Amino acid sequence: MAMIADAFVSKLCEVLLTSAIEEAAKILGVPDEIKKLHRRLKRMQDVLSDAEDRRFDSQAINRWLNELRDLMYDAEDIIDECWIEGEKHLSSKSSSSPRVESVRCCFPPIACLHKVRFHHEIGNRIRDLNHRLDELAKDKAELNLTPASHRDRYKSTRTRYGTSPVVEPEVVGENIETDTRILADLLIKEHKKKIPIFAIVGMGGIGKTTLAQKIYNDEKLRDNFNQMPRIWLCVSQDFSESELLKSIIKQAGGDPGETKEKEVLEPMLCQVIMNKKFFLVLDDVWDAQVWDELLRKPLQNGLADSRILITTRNINIAKQMGAIYNHMVEKLSREDGWSLICKMVFEEGDEQDMHDLSDTGMKIVEKCDGLPLALRTVGGVLRTKAKRQSEWLQVLHSPAWSFAKLPDGMMGALYLSYQDLPPPLKQCFTCLSLFPEDYLITRDPFVNSCMAEGFVTSEGSMPLHDVVEGYWRELVQRNLLQPDPSWYDEQGCRMHDLLRSLAQHIAQDECFVGDAQAFERKIGASSSSSIKLRRLSIVDEKLETIPDLIKEQTSLRTLLLIRSPLIHDLPEDLFRKLRSLRVLDLSKTTINNVPTSLGDLVHLRYLDLHATPIREIPESIANLKNLQFLTLHNCKYLHSLPSGILGLISLRRLVVRDTPIDGLPMGIGRLQKLHSIWGFVVNDSEGRRSGAGDDRKQEHQGQQQGRFCTLEELKSLSQLKYLSIYKLERVSNRAEARAAALQAKPHLVELEMHCTLSSSSSDVQQPGANDYGKEEIKRIEEVFEELHPPPCLEVLGISGYFGHEFPGWMMTPSPSSLRNLEGWI
């Protein structure tokens, strides 16, 4: 992908100018080669826009781009290793005394020989990169690629989004109100058939789900099913039987727990739904099998006046399921389409612009063919443009509308929306292809993955993390992601299946998502030399072991195991084979052992092991100098972290909440890049009681040995943006709390403070309140008084507080930045 290569080149050039790389170049004796690599990459970048536009019309250009892409990946691996070497040298220089620096070599002869050999190898690899770039430059000239200006490549009129609201579903046309009323009345009306089924039918992107959502939330219908289960299920093409059953049980008021077996869940559903009136929406049904073979029998236990509403693209599916009424969704009229665009693009006071652009706007609406999804995504494009004829005419006449290389049924409007994205955001968009259909994508893992893959370059003084969060918001504002209403502040989203299909089509040469059998078929259908997968997402609820074929994909940069809960074992040589990994997500599997070969993943940036039964993390994790994100929350059997995490000099985010660790290793304050700690556990320096129960003595013994850090180590972490602190009842005195210096943290926007109340309490209204004496109550009040947050704080959460008075800083007027106060007291 040339435009993806564009972003990649920018990132590599940025890294090549860092002090660590400059230091490594001196050590390796290749400063001139590094400068040469930087110059060649910059020159190559100038023609990538033209190559992208012509790649589908020329096999030669497509091959050239693929070779360049492979070179970029190799270059990043080499630059990574140079950076690690440079950081080691810079660190040793800063910590060395003059006396030590005068010593020529402090390593054993064998170690020195290894270093010399390593330096020689890296130097040769850099020279080889430059040679390959020279060859590609010669080919570039023969392909007659035209350099593009920075202005052309990045669309200078692009608008940076703020926090303006997403266009709501209500604005998709006036007919939807009439349709909602008709269908809601039909659903409420009495029918002879027991548990009748109603269907909404129409092509992809026409607004079936939006109509179903309006019916689901209709006030009259809600009153009819008052106190009764209202259930929403998205079925999708590759639905999981156990996940569907568990979801319906939960929404009907049951608790499936950790059960995964269909044979157990089906009778559980029968029991939960027995003699209940319910309203069930089955969204995006692709096969009547979900009804005939999975849901029909258990749901017959509900009352006769229950109702089922389905959405589907295929009228035959509605007929097979026995629907008594089929509502065909019509396309929007030109007037409704223009009304939708206007509500998305124009604000109050823009009446003149709206009038001036109406003719061009109507022509754009016609190209969207009355499809709400097309109108929304194109509206997202127009929102980024200046309200000028020239800008809107560029959109109207874009060749993307008639791009011929799209899959059948794919709208040109969607491709136009992709083409309008700046290069880094294109990278982030294709990353979304790795998630299953209708998967709940949350912001933090998305941000972590994009940063880990190196998709993003810095923008001025803005922290990289904030840049990617801005990209997430922009994808939402462009209607390429749909916010899930159950998530606060657009932190959880889903992707329309047509947009997901587009992302998969664009990324098909590098990415694969599917079950193990489909993966094996893909590899089997391609020669080993013709496919180099970079990103792999295995979605397989029946898979128990990692297929050997995965170990052969040595070019992998991302490996995700999604909805694969039965995987319980990792081959010892897996990480030695997949040394190029940047992102590794093994969460929610049953893996209980992490091989020591984890330390071989020197390029790894993002490691997610949350909700696994692991019992320990190997000390070899210290080798992961590039690791930025470590996610270990809800690991119920993990009681300690290795001291090796103190070697994670690049760590930005550590998540360990809901994991019963005894504390964080002493020295955590040295990890200066940390901007998020979710789960900082206070050191019990005096063996004070807490809700930990029987584990207290074991904890106290470990802490007496000085293994765990104290609140004082927070003082040096000046970059903290998100922080949650647990077991604050252990803080000895106000001086210890003051040492955290929370008020001096200039970037802290979200803070949680938790006390763990005594497990012996039986008072439901005030749990644990009677278990603390006057001295302890006074001490916790003093502690919280000293934990004064900075004025930039936006979100504050407090739980388990057993003081009789709130701290004084809570009694003063809230700072203007504080927008959310959560209390679980």
User: What are 265-316's pLDDT values in tens digits?
Assistant: 999 999 999 999 999 999 999 999 999 999 999 999 999 999 999 999 999 9
The whole-number pLDDT of residue 107 equals 42
Region 720-733: mean pLDDT is 95
The answer, yes or no, to whether residue 686 has pLDDT greater than 70, is: no
CATH code for the structural domain at 662-825: 3.80.10
Find the angle CA(445)-CA(166)-CA(162) to the nearest 5 degrees: 75
Confirm if 723 and 711 have CB atoms less than 8 A apart.
Answer: no
pLDDT in tens, 612-629: 999 999 999 999 999 999
Give the pLDDT band of residue 2 (cuts 50, 70, 90): very low
Window from 662-676, 688-702, 780-794 with minimum mean pLDDT: 688-702
Nearest 10 degrees: Cα torsion 87, 93, 95, 98: 170
* Cβ proximity of 281 and 231 under 8 Å: yes
Task: List b or e across 418-437, with b for residues whose CB sees 16 or more CB atoms inside 10 angstroms.
Answer: bbbbbbbbbbbbbbbbbbbb
* Structure-token pair, residue 710: 């104290």
Sign of dihedral through CA atoms 669, 670, 676, 680? negative
Domain ranges of the chain: 2-154, 174-328, 332-403, 662-825
DSSP-assigned letter for residue 294: I
User: Per-residue pLDDT tens for 169-196?
Assistant: 444 556 888 899 999 999 999 998 999 9
Helix (H) or strand (E) holding 338: helix 334-345
CATH topology of domain 174-328: Rossmann fold (3.40.50)
Rg (CA), the chain: 29
What's the pLDDT at 457? 79
Element (H, E) at 724: strand 722-726
* Strands of the 325-328 sheet, one edge to the other: 230-234, 279-283, 307-312, 197-201, 325-328
Report the chain's mean pLDDT, rounded to a whole number.
86
Q: Which tokens sit at 228?
A: 């009764």
At residue 164, the pLDDT reads 38
Confidence class for position 115, pLDDT limits 50, 70, 90: low
Per-residue pLDDT, 110: 43
- Model confidence band, residue 264 (pLDDT cutoffs 50, 70, 90): very high
C-alpha separations of 636 from 569, 633, 723, 754 in Å? 18, 9, 21, 19
Mean pLDDT to the nearest integer, 729-733: 92
Q: Tell me which of 822 and 141 has the higher pLDDT.
A: 141
Spatial contact of 157 and 384, defined as CB atoms under 8 Å apart = yes
DSSP-assigned states of every residue in 123-178: HHHHHHHHHHHHHHHHHHHHTTPPP--HHHHHTTTPPPP-SPPPPPGGGS-THHHH
Give the highest mean pLDDT range of 80-89, 220-229, 677-686, 715-724: 715-724
* CB-CB contact of 318 with 201 (8 Å): yes
Q: Which fold has domain 332-403?
A: Helicase, Ruva Protein; domain 3 (1.10.8)
DSSP state of 284: S
Q: Is the pLDDT of residue 704 over 60?
A: no
| Integer Cα distance of 241 and 248 in angstroms | 11
Integer CA distances (angstroms), 230 to 61, 215, 345, in order: 54, 11, 35
Going by C-alpha positions, the residue among 607, 701, 622, 590 that lies closest to residue 656 is 607
Q: Over 80: is that where the pLDDT of 97 sits?
A: no
**Residue located via tokens 């052969």:** 552
Q: For 754, phi and psi rounded to 5 degrees?
A: -125, 135
pLDDT on residue 44? 86
**Mean pLDDT score, 521-527:** 78
Kindly report which listed range (70-84, 317-331, 755-769) carries the lowest average pLDDT score: 755-769
| 182's tokens | 């008709």
Residue 311 to residues 182, 195, 232, Cα–Cα distance (Å): 16, 17, 11
> What is the reported pLDDT for 337?
94
What number is the average pLDDT over the span 644-658? 96
